[in-house]
């Protein structure tokens, strides 16, 4: 191969190497958006089930402590994914208060009580 053919390839390779973070973020952004949408849909599905259970008086007393089991019983997956885990691999959470039930995911940053948490409340 001649130098005139190698030089453009070397420059392109160097640009690609120095722009790895940019290229990576371009590829990862749609994947992260998909996870966020899936999490919203799953939280919404759980919210609908909890509303029905609340109206019929079928909320288990130990919901907070057995929430992973509750999620597995009420969400379905076409694959082998454990549906009790959010798209980032962390368990969905539940907190039963006197007048409401909160359900949430820690969201993309995987840290509780930050602005990217995804949550819903159900009157109780």
pLDDT at 56 over 70: yes
Q: Where are the domains of the chain?
A: 3-123
pLDDT at 6: 59
pTM value? 0.76
Within 10 Å of residue 53's Cβ, how many Cβ atoms? 17
pLDDT at 104: 98
Q: pLDDT per residue over 8-20, tens digit each?
A: 665 656 655 566 6
Which residues have C-beta within 8 Å of that of residue 102, sequence separation ≥ 6?
93, 94, 95, 119, 120, 121
pLDDT band (50, 70, 90) for residue 7: low
Contact of 91 with 105, CB cutoff 8 Å: no
Q: pLDDT per residue over 71-87, tens digit each?
A: 999 988 888 889 999 99
3-class DSSP state for residue 46? helix
């Amino acid at each position: 191969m001649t130098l005139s053919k190698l030089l453009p390839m070397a420059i392109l390779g160097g640009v690609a190497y120095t722009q790895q973070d940019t290229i990576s973020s371009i590829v990862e952004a749609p994947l992260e958006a998909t996870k966020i949408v899936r999490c919203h849909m799953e939280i919404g599905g759980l919210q609908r089930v909890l509303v029905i259970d609340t109206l019929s008086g079928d909320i288990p007393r130990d919901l907070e402590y057995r929430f992973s089991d509750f999620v597995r019983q009420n969400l379905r997956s076409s694959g082998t994914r454990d549906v009790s885990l959010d798209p980032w691999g962390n368990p969905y959470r539940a907190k039963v208060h006197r007048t409401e039930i909160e359900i949430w995911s820690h969201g993309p940053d995987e840290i509780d009580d930050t602005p990217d948490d995804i949550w819903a409340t159900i009157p109780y």
